[in-house]
Amino acid sequence: MSAAGSVHRRHDRRCPRNPDGKGYLPHRCRGRWAYHLSLGRDPVAGDRRQVTGSGYETREDALAALASARSDANVTGGRGRGKTVHEWLLEWLDIDAGTEDEKSITTLARHRGNINNHIFPVLGDIKLTKLTVDDVRRLMSTLRDPRYQSPVLLAKDDLKAAKKHGLSSASINRVHEALHAALERAVRDRLITWNPADHVKPPREQNLSYGSWSPAHTAAFLDLPEVRDHSGYAAWHCVLVTGVRRGELAAPYWHDIDLDDAVWELRENLVQVGGTTKRKDTKSAAGTRLVYLDRETVGVFRAHRRQQLEVRLRLGPRWQELPHTHPETDQTCDCGGPVFRSPRGGECKPDWLTDNWNALVEIAVHRIPGLPRIPLHGSRHTAVSAATQHARASDQQALERFGHSSVATQRRYRHVDEELHRALAETQAALIAKHRQTRLPAADSQ
């Protein structure tokens, strides 16, 4: 498009006004320079469109700003004119919400929360076309402040937010990720010519340590009466032994697990946002993966299925049937439904697993000496550590069993317990001691 523009000096308080009417007397103006750029009329609304800028010290500065504005207008056509960051981010969320192949339901929910709680209060009122690198830096600096609290969450009387000060490096990175993605879409849609978030580096992310249990702690937890008698005992045993993710644990149907061959064909992931659940592919790069089961886990699954059938018979019509389409035949099948269900047969939501796990761990930490308090995802760390450190699984075996994308990712899940550290120290020292000519006194003799 061809945009017409001009530069001029803006009068200030020192300029002499015309006493007989509007305007100014002839004078040598010393005001700052400004530019005006006409973009023609809006093809839809018919309104005149224009871009202005002011506050430039010299005519050359104003001309340079005009040239930049004209260049931007030739690319964007003024599409982003008048739109605030708040308005564009809401529009972007609606665009991506209707494009499920671009983002998962959980990613969209995370973006929505970060935008509402952290980006809107700081950047929401700024015009999209006026957003600068300094604005994005100001957002990152605000979030890094250890005294920071989201004003949106505080206004909602969120008790958790009121106690929490500052965001973790991971949380700040997710905020930057949402803003960057939204601005990148604005560039593709020719609303802006460049992405200011490209030039602001988020903080280096410090991975959260979930902790893990030693095999002895795992056994002690599973032997607790409250755990053994819990309706989700098979789930707790399964997640500690196989290390599947929360959504993978909640997803399987009975036809996915071949108890005769002791193998689980893990093909789906059940995700939850609020009260809504959705089935999607697993996070594993290879998609479906095989999880081989030990004899004890097979026995736990068989006992769990017998118990499930007994409850189904006892409840009769009160049992909630869940119609299911077999992935190979595309027909409704009576395969026994989901492996893990609610007490009345309904869907086992991931949040139910988390809430019940946390309640049982809270009991366990007061019963088992030295037991660390770990979240449900810590059970995955526990299983990876047991496989790689105690069972001596190779990197390739562990990658295939746990569905990690790389060895580097897998290593973040390894936790060596104190017993192995002490055994390693003794073994390493013994390699040197056997070649020593002078025998050193034993530690218990001093």
Q: Are 398 and 390 in contact (CB under 8 A)?
A: no
**Hunting for tokens 């018979």 — which residue is that?**
313
Average of per-residue pLDDT across 117-133 = 92
| Mean pLDDT, the chain, integer | 80
Residue 127 near residue 84, CB atoms below 8 Å: yes
Which is it for the CA torsion 158, 163, 164, 165, positive or negative? positive
Across the range 392-400, mean pLDDT stands at 75
Question: Where is pLDDT greater, at 196 or 329?
Answer: 196
Question: Residue 276: its pLDDT value, please?
Answer: 82
- How far is it, in rounded angstroms, from Cα 122 to Cα 142? 8
Residue 414 has pLDDT above 90, yes or no: no
Which domains occur in the chain, in start order? 4-76 (no CATH), 85-199 (1.10.150.130), 215-419 (1.10.443.10)
Instruction: Compute CA distances 403 → 258, 284, 387, 393, whole Å.
Output: 19, 5, 13, 14
Cβ(263)–Cβ(291) under 8 Å? yes
Can you give the pLDDT at residue 257? 92
Q: How many Å from the N-terminal Cα to the C-terminal Cα in the chain?
A: 90
Rounded CA gap, 83 and 48, in Å?
16
Does position 131 have pLDDT exceeding 60, yes or no? Answer: yes
- Angstrom distance (rounded) from CA 135 to CA 121: 12
Both tokens of 209, joined, read 């340590």
User: Does the structure show a pLDDT above 80 at 228?
Assistant: yes
Q: Comparing C-alpha atoms, which of 51, 55, 80, 82 is closest to residue 67?
A: 51
Question: Is residue 364 over pLDDT 90?
Answer: yes
Does residue 423 carry a pLDDT above 70? Answer: no
Task: Give percent of the chain with pLDDT exceeding 70.
Answer: 76
